[in-house]
Amino acid sequence: MARKSLPKEAGPEAQVRARFLAFLKKQGCPSHAIRLEYSTGRGRFDVGVCLPDGRLWLLAECKASLKGLSPWLQAQTQLHRYQAQLPPVRYLAIVAAEGIWCWEAATGRLLPHFPTYPE
């Protein structure tokens, strides 16, 4: 009997997520703190980053592209809808081929630089 292999994740959004994971690790986020497909019960974030005590530090939604206003608004709406179902999180991010946008969840203030993972 032939052994079936799992399908490999491919496509532009998966590539964006893979680049973001590499970026997080380069920024000092430990691998064990990063959760993929972080479930909210009514949906899922592409990436969640937890603090050492298990609390959420950052939630990110990855998109292949944000060209035009509509994809940006959809991603932002999705982030806020999922976030409302979770305990407080420090940062939210939208990641796309065009870049990374990160803001403080409590204030909505867009950050000039990606935050440093706390030690």
Sequence-distant (6+) residues with CB within 8 A of 57 are: 33, 49, 50, 51, 89, 90, 91, 117, 118
Tens digits of per-residue pLDDT, 89-114? 999 999 988 889 999 999 989 999 99
- What's residue 69's pLDDT? 64
Is the model more confident about 49 or about 74? 49
Which tens digits make up the pLDDT trace of 15-43? 999 999 999 999 999 999 999 987 777 77
Q: Which domains does the chain have, with CATH numbers?
A: 13-104 (3.40.1350)
102 backbone dihedrals φ, ψ, rounded to 5° = -135, 140
Q: Are strands 56-62 and 91-96 parallel, antiparallel or unpaired?
A: parallel
User: For the segment 36-69, what is each residue's pLDDT rounded down to a tens digit?
Assistant: 987 777 777 789 999 999 998 999 988 887 776 6
